A = this chain, B = another copy of it.
Amino acid sequence: MNILKAYMARELPRINQTLYDLTKDLEPEVLPLVEHVLKAGGKRIRPILTLLTARAMGCTRNDVYPMAAAVELLHSASLLHDDILDNAGLRRGKKAAHLVFGTSHAILGGDILFALANRIAAEYNIPALTHCLAQAIMHTATGEIKEIALLRNPAITRAQYLDIITGKTAYLLQVACQCGAIMAGADATGLESASRYGLNLGIAFQIVDDALDYSSSAAVSGKPLGGDLKEGKFTLPLVLYLQQLADEDKTRVMDKLASNAMDAKDIAQVVGAIQSLGLDVQTRQEAGTYITRAKASLEHLGDTPEKNILLSLLDFVLHREK
């Protein structure tokens, strides 16, 4: 992990400076909301992925930062809209933008950041960049619509679960890598490798996230356990739990889930059962499949410091405890 941390520490100031430079001329009615979102922090993992992919693929351009920042702006736009959908109270520990500035402002602020990301991409005169961004937004928003459609539906299948998390999480990590590959002038094979790396990393990231929501080790993160269950987001640990129940028990639990009749005790009981059956651990192991695929997609790349960091990032995602 140390090479990743060192890389992030080195690159973060320039990424943040670029984000500042690209947003500072927004109108005074818009800027405070954008600053609120950007200053809330976040790990900037997406722009870091753009830089790493570009350099691992031999990029020699010195103008990668604006594109990397554009990917972060796309992510920020998505967060602004997500928090409205989820009626989230907090984002990265700060009051969510829609509560500070109002829903209308947050919707329009998201639209502005989506457009700004596209404008930055258009300035490179490489239409493939815009095409990738557009696809990522479409897939992400579609994933979120699917998630909402399946909210509180305990009959969700593993395939539907994977479809949702690929949509809502993996495409934005994928596009970060695709943009890096395009900036490096990668050929079709290179672009495909970057795509597969980002997509599988994203799926694994979300599966681990969903495991952590049931995992006692997550207590270190300060997040209460079973939050997804409470919100009616039925993720892989629950899918695995329902699978192993006898038909009668399964019907009983599913009825309760479907009618939103779970109280705090019921939730604690399901969380406890998932832990004692080791299904949180099993969930994390399933993430390993995608980590392996992501690793394989880098095989043909020559040895560079950036390739090693991309590999170490995979280990970090698989083993993270918060």
Interface residues, chain A, CB within 8 Å of chain B? 26-27, 29-30, 81, 84-85, 102-105, 107-112, 114-116, 118-119, 121-128, 130-131, 133-135, 137-138, 141-142, 144-146, 148-149
Contact = CB atoms under 8 A, between A and B. Distances in A.
A134 B114 CA distance: 8
Contacts of A126: 127
B141 A131 contact: no
11 contacts: A27-B145, A29-B146, A85-B107, A108-B144, A112-B137, A114-B115, A116-B134, A118-B133, A121-B130, A127-B127, A130-B130
Contacts of A85: 104, 107-108
Nearest to A114: B114
B119 A29 contact: no
Contacts of A109: 141, 145
Contact of A123 (B110, B115, B131): B131
A135 B123 CA distance: 12
The residue among A29, A123, A126 with the most chain B CB atoms within 10 A of its own CB is A29
Nearest to A130: B122
A240 B29 CA distance: 25
B118 A141 contact: no
A111 B108 contact: no
B114 A145 contact: no
B81 A142 contact: no
A48 B137 CA distance: 27
Nearest to A146: B29
Given A81-B108, A119-B134, 17 more contacts: A27-B146, A29-B145, A84-B104, A85-B108, A102-B148, A104-B145, A111-B114, A111-B137, A112-B138, A112-B142, A114-B115, A115-B137, A118-B130, A118-B134, A119-B131, A119-B135, A121-B130
Contacts of A115: 114, 133-135, 137-138, 141
A115 B81 CA distance: 14
B137 A114 contact: yes
A127 B122 contact: yes
Contacts of A114: 111, 114-115, 137
Contacts of A127: 122-127, 130
B29 A149 contact: yes
Nearest to A87: B104
Contacts of A81: 107-108, 111
A9 to B, nearest CB: 32
Contacts of A125: 127
Contacts of A30: 141-142, 145
Contact of A122 (B108, B111, B131, B144): B131
A119 B125 CA distance: 15
A135 B115 CA distance: 7
Contacts of A135: 115, 119
Contacts of A130: 118-119, 121-122, 127, 130
A27 B142 contact: yes
